[in-house]
Amino acid sequence: MIIFLFGEDSFRSHEQLVRMRRSFCEKNKVHQGDIIVLDGEKISLREIKEATQASSLFDAKRMIVIENIFLNSSKELARDLLEFLENYKNNNVLIFRDVNIKTKKGLPQIINAGGKEKALLRDQKALFSFLSSQEYSAREFASLSTWQIGQWINNRVSVQKASISKDAIQALLALVGNDLWRLDNEVTKLVNLKKEISKADVDKIVHGELDEGIFALTDAISLRNIPEALRLINKQIQLGVNENYLLTMILRQVKILVQIKSALEHKLGQAEMIKKLNLHPYVIQKGMSQVRNFSLDFLKNMWKRLLDLDYTIKTGRGNFVGEINLLLVEGLV
């Protein structure tokens, strides 16, 4: 069985993957640790073949998850992998998940670290066509519209046996935006305190403290003030902020800095950036002051290393506090 999950909405595809993993473990009486997770960006076809081959007929059914295969730099992998998959007869479950692929007017696009979209190469298109035509769960998790996110918030609250007013939803969207990772964190915080959530509750409980903390963190990094950066990270953890969510917010901020630095190098003004990057003027203004201390290469490398850390943490192979502290001490370069 081959399954393909893709799209920019990493939160919903991650949730879907979690549900599939849980269901697989329950049905096949195996543990989560038995699931094989591979980094598609660095993997070879030989490693994929080794992971899918059972050593004997009596081995338990396996689940193999391959993340972000379309970011692999090998020019031959897409072609060779397609040939392998077209003849794949194994009983194991093979899941491909890629959050850097989206469709635009029905055509697949790949999103790079700077947020730019470009068409897939010929062999990549053929692989995408094959994966997206699979019988089982070939699904795109596209970014939700503002209206859809409002519905998502309402459903999220209802599932936790609470209610939220329409103006409270609007207030939450205005404060947080369309980041489902953060919205989920804020909804959970609100529901734990109130079962009937009003706009006043949102205004009181949800604020920009974490955003300011992330700004302060990137400020500390830009000034090479590593002790302060370490203090800010550990302060957020002590405040009870979810580690996955915190890393997502750091990734989001670094991605914004990459986009702003790239825009500046292309001589775009602040007004053009606001329109092109679809970011709040305050975020653009703050980011412009921060990127003065970074080169574009430094920011891209920071983004890449944080993505590697995100992958390591979400596959259960690393400790957030230890790994992020190490990256900060190394200067993220």
Average pLDDT of the segment spanning 308-324: 76
- Please, are residues 94 and 67 in contact by the beta-carbon 8 Å criterion? no
Both 228 and 128 in one domain: the answer is no
**Which is more confidently placed, 156 or 215?**
156
Both 239 and 195 in one domain: the answer is no
Strand partners, 108: 103
Both 11 and 62 in one domain: the answer is yes
Both 192 and 319 in one domain: the answer is no
Report pLDDT for 135: 76
Q: Percentage of the chain surpassing pLDDT 70?
A: 88
pLDDT(332) > 80 = no
Average pLDDT of the segment spanning 235-242: 71
Beta strands in the chain (DSSP E): 2-6, 36-39, 63-67, 93-98, 101-104, 107-111, 117-119, 136-140, 163-164, 196-197
Query: Which residue in 107, 332, 135 sits closest to 218, CA to CA?
Result: 332
**Which is more confidently placed, 27 or 312?**
27
Structure tokens at 222: 């830009």
Report pLDDT for 163: 92
Both 232 and 293 in one domain: the answer is yes
Q: How far apart are CA 326 and CA 106, in angstroms?
A: 42
Domains identified in the chain, total number? 3
- Report pTM: 0.63
Query: Which residue in 162, 172, 159, 163 sits closest to 200, CA to CA?
Result: 172
Q: How far apart are CA 172 and CA 202, in angstroms?
A: 6
The per-residue pLDDT of the chain, averaged, comes to: 82
CATH classification at residue 42:
3.40.50.300
Both 10 and 131 in one domain: the answer is yes
Report pLDDT for 316: 67
Both 215 and 318 in one domain: the answer is yes
Both 198 and 220 in one domain: the answer is no
Between strands 117-119 and 107-111, the pairing is antiparallel
Which structural domain range is residue 274 located in? 209-329
Question: What is the tens place of the pLDDT at every residue in 100-129?
Answer: 888 887 788 887 655 677 888 899 999 999
